Amino acid sequence: MAADVVCFGEVLVRLAAPDNELLLQSPTLKVSFGGAEANVAVSLARFGHGARMLSVLPDNGLGHAAVDELRRYGVDTSGVRFAAGRMGLYFLTPGAAQRSSQVLYDRADSAFSRAASGVDWDTELTGAGWLHVSGITAAIGPDTAKAAVDAVKTARRLGLTVSMDCNYRATLWQAWNGDAPAILGEMLSQADLVFGDHRDIALVLGASFEGRGEADGLRRWAADMAFKAWPNLQRLACTDRVQHTVNHHDLTGFLFSRDGAWRTESRPLNPIIDRIGGGDAFAAGVIHGLLTGMDEADQLEFAVAAAVLKHATPGDFNLATVADVEAVRSSHSLDVRR
């Protein structure tokens, strides 16, 4: 079955310390599933779009449970293959007050890292309309980096819209001495829509943003640099956080095109229940806006409202529907909805 959007990446088991505890402070962990691309797929499916997950999972109880969880939320899993290897994991220590959250990855030698480079991209992408990828996939190792580059190049050749979240993860790149600027740059050159800010663009282009003004000016500078560097690129979107405590942020959205710029009003996030996956919720919101023909201002407002709802939802997945997001956009009332 052809899907509107194909999301390529690793599905992970998330193991989180409960109730704002430190990791293994007590011998209990909350188990759920996540991963950047899977988060986008679930959110788009909840918004009513055809979303297909393209991944490799271990042929064991964990891998099959992950597929069942994606299906539960309406994601097409026909692009998921099972192979030898282990399940990728990440451990989360939730932040609280002035203590930052911490993520510990355990992904080496996973089924995805072993077999992702064996995807037949022409077969998997023919008939699809959109490919969404993340820099996290490229950061896992040389084989997944090759797979991510092959994916975006094939998608470009087949005429799909390509979106990419930079999602720079220094620890993953450093683990295998991967050349992040070169590989991410190769992926960005094929993208129509990029989720990233001045730090991402400066990293990839080897540029310095020191002394280039305040934050708003830095984002405009980054967008201009990106549009000059990558002719295929049509839009760049990002958010800005003002962090008062770990549990209290203010979130603002930004969207740049080749002929315009938009920003939202700042929205308070207080208290934050779970911020993991907030960027993926924002990305899915922008993609939804483009797929449904919203103008740029509406795309951005919808995306920020979606991210706001994710911060109020435990786990990686944003489970909000379009009606839920529109309710946040149209009203600030916190009365019980009956």
Label the pairing between strands 76-83 and 12-16.
unpaired
Q: What is the token pair recorded at 51?
A: 């979303």
Backbone φ and ψ of 87, nearest 5°:
-85, 135
Backbone φ and ψ of 35, nearest 5°:
125, 140
Mean pLDDT by 10 residues, the chain (338 residues): 82 96 95 98 98 97 98 97 96 92 94 90 95 97 96 98 96 95 98 96 89 77 95 97 94 97 95 96 98 97 98 97 94 65
pLDDT at 2: 46
Are 152 and 120 in contact, with CB atoms under 8 Å apart? no
pLDDT at 1: 39
Taking the CA of residue 205 as centre, how many other CA atoms within 13 Å lie in the half-sphere pointing to its CB? 22
Are 74 and 41 in contact, with CB atoms under 8 Å apart? no
pLDDT at 216: 78
CA distance 195 to 164: 6
pLDDT at 211: 65
Backbone φ and ψ of 145, nearest 5°:
-65, -45
Are 301 and 252 in contact, with CB atoms under 8 Å apart? no
Closest CA to 208 of 195, 221, 194, 196: 221
Closest CA to 258 of 215, 298, 296, 224: 224
> Could you tell me the fold of the domain covering 5-237?
UDP-N-acetylmuramoyl-L-alanine:D-glutamate ligase (3.40.1190)
Does the annotation count 280 as an active-site position? Answer: yes
Angle among Cα 252, 264, 95 to the nearest 5 degrees reads 20
> Hey, is 163 helix, strand or coil?
strand
Closest CA to 106 of 165, 62, 163, 43: 62
Domain boundaries, the chain: 5-237, 238-338
The residue annotated as part of the active site, out of 4, 280, 316, 324, is 280
pLDDT at 115: 87
Q: Among the residues of the chain, which ranges form H helices?
A: 36-46, 61-72, 111-115, 121-125, 135-139, 142-158, 170-175, 180-188, 198-205, 215-229, 278-291, 296-310, 322-330
CA distance 141 to 137: 8
pLDDT at 97: 86
90 residue type, one letter: Y
